[in-house]
Amino acid sequence: MAKRPYQPKDFYFRKAKDEGLRARSAFKIEEIAKKHAIFKKGQNVVDLGAAPGGFLQIILNAIGPTGFVVGVDLAAIKPLGRPNVKTAVLDVLADDFHEQLEALQGGPIDVVVSDLAPKTTGIKDVDEARSLRLVGVALEVAKRRGRAGGHFVAKLFMGGEFEEVRKGLREAYEDVKVVRPEATRGASMEIYLVGLRRRA
C-alpha cells in the first residue's frame, strides 16, 4: 500500500488556525491533559521546548489566572499577552540551565511538560539518543523541583534505551503511561511518556 504523502495543511493544522492556536501540536497536550487530568487551576507549570507557544495556550487556559507557567526554548516565543506566563530563550543542555530556570520560577513545580526535540540527523540511533537525553533533562527538573502528587509529560523518539527511561519514570511516579496522541503525524516516531502522581 502506498504511503500517504506528507500534508502540512492537514485537519489539525486547519483546526489550529480556526481556533487561534499557534501550532497543531497544541492538540497533543490538550488530548493528553484531558485523558489523564494533568492540569488544575492554580498550578505552577514548566513547559520545555515551548516555541511557538501552542502548548502554552492550552496550559494557560487549564491553570487559569491563579496558575503560573514558564515556557523556554532555543527560539524566542512571541508574547502571549497574559500576566501569568513568562518565556525565555534558554538552552536546556547548558551547564547552568537549572539555575536559570529557577531564576524564572522558583519553588515547587506541579507539572513538567517537555516537547523538546533534537535537530534530527536522519540517523535513527543518533536521533533517538539525543531525544532520550532531552527527556533526561526534563526528568531532572521534575526530580529536583517536582511537587509530590504532580505530573510529568515528555515527548521522545522510541529507541533502544526507552525501557531505561520508562524505568526511571516509574521510580519517580506512581503510574506511567505511553501515549501517541491523535494529532501525531502518521510517519512520526514520537510518543509521549506521562508520569502521574509523583512519589513523595
Catalytic (active site) residue 155: yes
Per-residue cell: 112: 513538567
Select which of 34, 40, 78, 155 is catalytic: 155
State in Å, rounded, how far the first CA of the chain is from the last one.
50
3-state secondary structure (DSSP) of residue 45: strand
d(CA 175, CA 198): 9
d(CA 52, CA 75): 8
Sheet with 85-89: strands ordered across: 85-89, 68-73, 44-48, 109-114, 146-157, 190-198, 173-179
DSSP secondary structure letter of residue 159: -
The closest of 122, 123, 150, 152 to 137, measured between CA atoms, is 152
d(CA 181, CA 192): 8
Q: Which residues are catalytic?
A: 155
